[in-house]
């Protein structure tokens, strides 16, 4: 049961077969496989770094946390602009918006947690990096699915090319 996926994985790896003439088509297929593997790796790395960055921001906020009431000035699914006043009566509008902005609406009054040493680093109260796991993980899963389909297509193409080579060799020998 495991032998079939392992055989497919082995043929999806960009390896040169020393028994076969290295034509331009074979080189192109091999380099295409390399490009797909590199893209899958980069997207996976990006997803891991996204979660790690969110976790790092949370730890920084938790080390020197301040809490304030904020007003949502503009709201979007990925970025919301807020304004809040710290206990020392300084008004802040974080340039990059607020972390974890989902389900916010313009004009809402919310509580935020911010880093007192860097008030531009602010998140919606009680929201953490755990909210970044599902979006980042789904990006990685989609990359692996698309990459797997492309690699499967390249393997099929490579096998057809090998079959054409076998047919040509048998015709030459006849």
**Contact assessment for residue 91 and residue 83, using Cβ atoms and an 8 Å cutoff:** yes
Percent of the chain scored above 70 by pLDDT?
93
Q: Encode pLDDT of 84-112 as tens digits.
A: 999 999 999 999 889 988 889 999 999 99
Predicted local confidence at residue 168, as pLDDT: 58
Tokens 């020197």 found at: 64
Helix residue spans in 14-129 (DSSP H): 24-63
**Contact assessment for residue 92 and residue 119, using Cβ atoms and an 8 Å cutoff:** yes
Output phi, psi for 97, to 5 deg: 85, -160
Q: Encode pLDDT of 126-157 as tens digits.
A: 999 999 999 999 999 999 999 999 999 999 99
Residue 22 has pLDDT above 80, yes or no: no
Q: Mean pLDDT across the stretch 64-80?
A: 92
Predicted local confidence at residue 173, as pLDDT: 62
Query: Dihedral sign, CA of 96, 100, 106, 107?
Result: negative
Q: How far is CA 104 from CA 29, 54, 76, 78, 119, in A?
A: 47, 19, 7, 10, 20
Tokens of 72: 């949502």
CA distance 86 to 68: 6
Predicted local confidence at residue 150, as pLDDT: 96
Predicted local confidence at residue 165, as pLDDT: 66
SS3 content of the chain, % helix, strand, coil (to 5): 55, 20, 30
Predicted local confidence at residue 69, as pLDDT: 96
* Cα–Cα nearest to 146, from 37, 51, 45, 30: 37
Mean pLDDT of the residues in the chain: 89
Which residue ranges make up each domain of the chain? 23-173
Q: Which CATH superfamily is domain 23-173 in?
A: Nucleic acid-binding proteins (2.40.50.140)
Predicted local confidence at residue 172, as pLDDT: 60
Residue 169 has pLDDT above 70, yes or no: no
Tokens of 48: 């891991």
């Amino acid at each position: 049961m495991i032998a079939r996926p392992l055989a497919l994985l082995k043929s999806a790896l960009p390896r040169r077969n020393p028994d076969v003439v290295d034509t331009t088509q074979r080189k192109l297929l091999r380099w295409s496989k390399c490009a797909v593997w590199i893209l899958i790796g980069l997207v996976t790395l990006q997803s891991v770094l996204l979660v790690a960055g969110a976790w790092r921001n949370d730890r920084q906020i938790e080390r020197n946390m301040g809490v304030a009431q904020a007003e949502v000035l503009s709201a979007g699914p990925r970025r919301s602009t807020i304004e809040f006043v710290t206990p020392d009566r300084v008004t802040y509008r974080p340039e990059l918006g607020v972390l974890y902005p989902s389900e916010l609406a313009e004009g809402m009054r919310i509580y935020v947690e911010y880093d007192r040493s860097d008030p531009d680093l602010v998140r919606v109260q009680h929201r953490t990096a755990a909210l970044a796991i599902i979006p980042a993980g789904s990006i990685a899963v989609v990359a692996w699915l698309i990459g797997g389909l492309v690699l499967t297509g390249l393997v099929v193409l490579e096998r057809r090319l090998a079959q054409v080579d076998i047919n040509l060799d048998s015709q030459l020998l006849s």
